[in-house]
């Protein structure tokens, strides 16, 4: 666990430093990346996917909306629910985020073979699945 914690903290510091000009926290970066792959989702989907408290997701979404990276619109089928998607500004920042992510992955996987990387990926996916089942 110690090593995973170190990797996550280092990733957080690295990406926040590299994306400082865009005023994005690590939590905001994660949600922007998620929305780039899953547009038009609701707050509950984000909360469940990342196992984050709904209140924390709401605060993060408020900040992203104020910064112009996302927009929320009322779900016509459920007036109590908002549909969240990236704005053009949010989509534009993905170019920078993907560059930073590639740079981070190059650092993280330096000296590892493709087989090693695939193995680590499979292990961490299984670990995430295990934790998700336990927390449900």
Q: CA 131, CA 44: separation in Å to the nearest integer?
A: 18
CB 74 within 8 A of CB 82: yes
Chain center to CA of 48: 13
Predicted confidence at residue 128, as pLDDT, reads 87
Residues 71-97: pLDDT tens digits? 999 988 888 889 999 999 999 999 999
What are the tens digits of pLDDT across the range 103-133?
A: 999 999 999 999 999 999 999 999 989 988 8
* Entry pTM: 0.85
The predicted model gives 32-47 an average pLDDT of 92
31 with 61: CB under 8 angstroms? yes
Residues 28, 39 contacting (CB under 8 angstroms): no
Domains of the chain: 2-104 (1.10.10.10)
């Amino acid at each position: 666990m110690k090593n995973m914690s170190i990797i996550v903290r280092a990733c957080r510091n690295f990406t926040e430093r590299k994306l400082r000009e865009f005023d994005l926290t690590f939590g905001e970066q994660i949600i922007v990346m998620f929305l780039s792959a899953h547009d038009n989702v609701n707050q509950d989907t984000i909360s469940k996917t990342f196992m984050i408290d709904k209140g924390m997701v709401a605060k993060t979404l408020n900040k992203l909306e104020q910064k112009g990276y996302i927009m929320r619109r009322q779900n016509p089928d459920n007036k109590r629910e908002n549909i969240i998607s990236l704005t053009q500004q949010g989509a534009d920042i993905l170019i920078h985020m993907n560059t930073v992510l590639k740079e981070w992955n190059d650092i993280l996987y330096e000296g590892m073979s493709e087989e090693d990387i695939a193995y680590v990926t499979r292990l961490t996916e299984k670990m995430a699945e295990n934790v998700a089942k336990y927390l449900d």
